[in-house]
A and B are shown apart, each in its own frame.
Chain A
Amino acid sequence: MQYFDNYLQSKGGYDYTNAKRNELMKAQGFKEMPFTKTGTTIVGVLFDGGVVMAADTRATAGSIVADKNCEKLHTLAPNIWAAGAGTAADLHHQCAHFNAKLKLQRLNLNRQSRVNEVITKLTSKLFPYRGQIGVALIIGGVDCNGPQLASVSPHGNYVYHPFQSMGSGSLAALGILEAKFQDGLTKQQAIDLAIEAIEAGIFHDMGSGSNVDVVAITKEGVDYRRNIRQYNAKSHQKQIPYPFPINNTPALRKYEFNFEKQELTEVGQEMEIVE
């Protein structure tokens, strides 16, 4: 174990052991798997007394929709939420990791978590990985310094701004936000603006789609609305249901497992697949 600690320390904390393996695999002809990215449109809007964040619910793997109704709004602390775009696995694990880390800190210090703590911790982790951890987050929360909204890029850059959008649909959403945002919005106005911005992303960006989730954070608490808007129902309901009668699918072989005797026996004769 001592060797391992020394080894890692001397390498400087940049762990690229898998990079070489990936190169080798590519050279041998392994096709790079498309990891599930979230495509995504996420927005954050600051209003008088709090912050609103909204997201769409489509997760894509390449050009196929992997999840039609996934959750992109994650809790980091009771008063701080994050909307995430980028690689789905990275987002899920990083947010869970920081949620736990912040909770531990709250238990130790007996103090509410602050938005700037989250930003510092996140960026300190992301920067050394040079953007390989694909998380683009919008962090919003209300703490002792008031309501704050920031965005964090996968390379570790952060920006504080009263409205943010990230993801493949960010430009569509940003158009709406730039046109309609004003200082001093009320909570309901901010929610409506955020929903409109996500709508733009859903309809005009193909990486985003399905429904809208919204969370509004104020000093009083958190108001999370899952699927507050659902636009795109399945367009055609088949008139005549597909006929799948029982015993109509040919089986090559049939086995029977007897639980009492705990034995597997072959049953019946081989059937040919008829085409």
Chain B
Amino acid sequence: MYIPMNEMLKHFKQDVPTMANITHKSEQWSPYHDNSGTVLAVGIPGAVIVAGDTRLSNGYNIMSRDATKLSQLTDKCVLATAGQYADFIALRKFLQQRLQLYEFQNEVQASTETVAHLLSRELYSRRFFPYYTFNLLAGLDENNHGFVYGYDAIGSYDKMTYGVQGSGQELVVAVLDNQLKGYNKINKTIPQTREEILDIILDCFSCAAERDIHTGDNVEILIITSAGTERLIKPLRKD
């Protein structure tokens, strides 16, 4: 096959990454760090169960095996956050202080719905330099029924019966859709008891820890009822 010379020369002139034109883009400093981890919450009549793993990561390193992602804001509601830990701490501080002020001024603790709205407004107040937090606000409503409010980073929220956030979200949410809502089932047998749901939650975390490198160490579970708060810690894979 004969190729004319100018055709051949066209190939020589193409851009190859020689030393002259490899420019290494230096990584720009970012104010955000993903400390990862997974949180989930499930609401049932009479209780709400919130769980989060306790691993704090930075890239491939583990910063802490014992860092809580859950924060109890009032007797009835708990904030669970995945994302940047520093922003979680800042957000938690703001909410705790603001809710304390609410209690002083109104002589009663804020309802879960009120806290949900407050959180949304606070997140949106930082619309142009967001809190790198993916929140779940889980709590009992006025009828003592457990609900979960799920948020994005800038404050859009929705009332749900269960929610998952964090690095293990994609691994877990489809299981919960199937088990707790009966998606893709003809006869939906939805678990009602606390034990069954705890079993599912623990299984979800152990599966997330198998396949997500950022989830592991321990899972911390808070169970909120009108009688009070119960706390459980179960081990997960440590590698």
> Does A206 count as interface, using CB distance less than 8 angstroms?
yes
Output the nearest chain A residue to B196 by Cβ-Cβ distance: A240
Nearest Cβ on chain A to B179's Cβ, whole angstroms = 7
Output the nearest chain A residue to B3 by Cβ-Cβ distance: A3
> Does B25 count as interface, using CB distance less than 8 angstroms?
no
> Does A50 count as interface, using CB distance less than 8 angstroms?
no
Given contacts A7-B11, A20-B14, A249-B184, contact A234 B210 (CB under 8 A): yes
Residue contact B210 to A68, C-beta cutoff 8 Å: yes
Residue contact A235 to B209, C-beta cutoff 8 Å: yes
Residue contact B16 to A65, C-beta cutoff 8 Å: no
Residue contact A209 to B206, C-beta cutoff 8 Å: no
Residue contact A209 to B202, C-beta cutoff 8 Å: no
Give the bracket for the number of chain B residues in contact with chain A.
35 or more
Given contacts A238-B199, A243-B189, contact A16 B239 (CB under 8 A): no
**Which residues in B have their C-beta under 8 angstroms from that of A236?**
202-203, 205-206, 234
Residue contact B62 to A65, C-beta cutoff 8 Å: no
Residue contact B60 to A39, C-beta cutoff 8 Å: yes
Residue contact A240 to B199, C-beta cutoff 8 Å: yes
Nearest Cβ on chain A to B167's Cβ, whole angstroms = 6
> Does A248 count as interface, using CB distance less than 8 angstroms?
yes
Stretch at the interface among B124-132, B141-149, B211-219: B211-219
Nearest Cβ on chain B to A18's Cβ, whole angstroms = 11
Stretch at the interface among A96-104, A185-193, A197-205: A197-205
Nearest Cβ on chain B to A208's Cβ, whole angstroms = 7
- Bits for A117-135, please: 1 = Cβ < 8 Å to B, else 0: 0000000000000100000
Output the nearest chain B residue to A2 by Cβ-Cβ distance: B1
> Does B236 count as interface, using CB distance less than 8 angstroms?
yes
Residue contact B60 to A205, C-beta cutoff 8 Å: yes
Interface residues of B in 192-239 (CB under 8 A from A): 195-196, 199-200, 202-203, 205-206, 209-214, 234-239
Residue contact A250 to B202, C-beta cutoff 8 Å: no
- What's the Cα separation between A19 and B18 when bound, in Å? 12
Residue contact B15 to A20, C-beta cutoff 8 Å: yes
> Does A107 count as interface, using CB distance less than 8 angstroms?
no
Residue contact B185 to A248, C-beta cutoff 8 Å: yes
- What's the Cα separation between A247 and B239 when bound, in Å? 39
Nearest Cβ on chain B to A5's Cβ, whole angstroms = 12
Nearest Cβ on chain B to A168's Cβ, whole angstroms = 5
**Which residues in A have their C-beta under 8 angstroms from that of B16?**
14, 16, 19
- Bits for B51-69, please: 1 = Cβ < 8 Å to A, else 0: 0000001001110000000
**Which residues in A have their C-beta under 8 angstroms from that of B196?**
240
Given contacts A16-B17, A206-B61, A275-B183, contact A239 B206 (CB under 8 A): no
**Which residues in A have their C-beta under 8 angstroms from that of B17?**
16, 19, 130
Output the nearest chain B residue to A274 by Cβ-Cβ distance: B186
**Which residues in B have their C-beta under 8 angstroms from that of A243?**
189
The 4 closest A-B pairs by CB, nearest first: A209-B239, A236-B206, A206-B213, A236-B202
A-B contact pairs, 17 of them (CB 8 A): A20-B14, A63-B167, A63-B212, A64-B211, A64-B213, A202-B239, A203-B239, A206-B239, A209-B237, A231-B238, A236-B203, A240-B196, A242-B179, A248-B186, A248-B187, A250-B186, A275-B183
A interface list, Cβ under 8 A from B: 3, 7, 10-11, 14, 16, 19-20, 39, 58, 60, 63-65, 68, 130, 168, 202-210, 231-232, 234-236, 238-240, 242-243, 245, 247-250, 273-275
